[in-house]
Amino acid sequence: MTSESNDREELVSREQSADQLSVRTSTLYRMIDRGEVKGRKVGRQWRFRINDLKAYLERGPQAVALSTVSAEEIDAFLVDEANVLKGLGVSVPPLPRHAEIDEKLDTAVERLFHLGIAAVASDIHLVPERESVLVQVRIDGVLSDQLYIPQTLSAALVGRLKQISGVNPDERSIPQDGRIHFRDDGRDYDLRINFMPTTFGESIVMRILDQGSVLIGMERLGLSADDLARLRRWNSSPTGLIISAGPTGSGKTTTLYSCLW
């Protein structure tokens, strides 16, 4: 039997490959575009070698995603992040000389956290688009565009976020929720992070919770004297219901914790 016939026997269909990798067929096409999985056209259909699929699974999605990231690309993104942070008055320390790509990726993730905190944002959003991923922050309930992540870098960055937030990095077809603890300038922050599959990749929302500023007490909520007296009276009542409503970042959780404080 020739090597050509061996190759033919090793080829499997698009659907079989997606099942083996536990992804949707649409995700499989994006993996081909990013160079994570090798495929070949046989007639009008995509076919995949079993050995290539096994190699992908053995290396792990994050290792494969990192292998597709160029040093020039992540360096350019780090410069974009630094410029945004400097515009917010944050000093950005230089990277160590000869830093590896995985170290640069960790720095890119940390700078995203710093960006949200420096902007006094309630959320950081990563919104996948056709050619890139838009980074937004929510300030006083309003989303503001900050910068763009190259699409070829997004898989590695999302994978790193999944690793440190404690969710399954191999799962891309269902929503996942995780948590990240982060320390910045001597303050502790919790980031509640949600991953949501979309047409162009996974959308990510990171809710920022400053552990040092939540339990502030009812007298510091900014209420008038009359409203504060009403809230205290309602809060001490053994029956009834208090409804706290408003946009993200308006202080609903702070009000709740203050009432329980």
Model confidence at 19, in pLDDT bands (50, 70, 90)? confident
Model confidence at 64, in pLDDT bands (50, 70, 90)? low
Task: Give the number of domains in the chain.
Answer: 3
Q: Name the H helices within the chain.
A: 3-10, 14-21, 25-33, 50-59, 61-67, 71-87, 101-118, 151-165, 225-236, 252-260
Q: Are residues 248 and 160 in the same domain?
A: no
Domain range for 229: 218-260
| 221 residue type, one letter | L
Q: Are residues 48 and 9 in the same domain?
A: yes
> What pLDDT is recorded for position 246?
79
User: Strand order in 45-49's β-sheet?
Assistant: 11-13, 45-49, 40-42
CATH code: domain of residue 82: 3.30.450.90
Model confidence at 7, in pLDDT bands (50, 70, 90)? very low
- pLDDT tens digits for 147-180? 999 888 888 889 889 989 998 887 778 899 999 9
Q: Are residues 201 and 90 in the same domain?
A: yes
Residue 74, classified by CB atoms within 10 Å of its CB into exposed (0-12), middle (13-18) or buried (19+), is buried
> What pLDDT is recorded for position 123?
92
Mean pLDDT of 125-144: 92
* Mean pLDDT across the chain: 83
> What pLDDT is recorded for position 175?
92
Model confidence at 2, in pLDDT bands (50, 70, 90)? very low
Q: Are residues 121 and 205 in the same domain?
A: yes
Confidence check: pLDDT of 251 > 60: yes
Percent of the chain whose predicted confidence (pLDDT) is above 90: 30
Q: Are residues 192 and 225 in the same domain?
A: no
**Which helix (H) or strand (E) covers residue 172, if one does?**
none
Q: Are residues 72 and 145 in the same domain?
A: yes
> What pLDDT is recorded for position 52?
79
Mean pLDDT of 84-89: 93
Confidence check: pLDDT of 29 > 60: yes
Q: Are residues 14 and 132 in the same domain?
A: no
- pLDDT tens digits for 97-111? 777 888 888 999 999
At residue 218, φ and ψ (nearest 5 deg) are -65, -30
Mean pLDDT of 29-57: 79
> What pLDDT is recorded for position 4?
47
Mean pLDDT of 12-35: 78
CA dihedral in degrees (66, 197, 150, 139; nearest 10)? -120
Q: Are residues 86 and 200 in the same domain?
A: yes
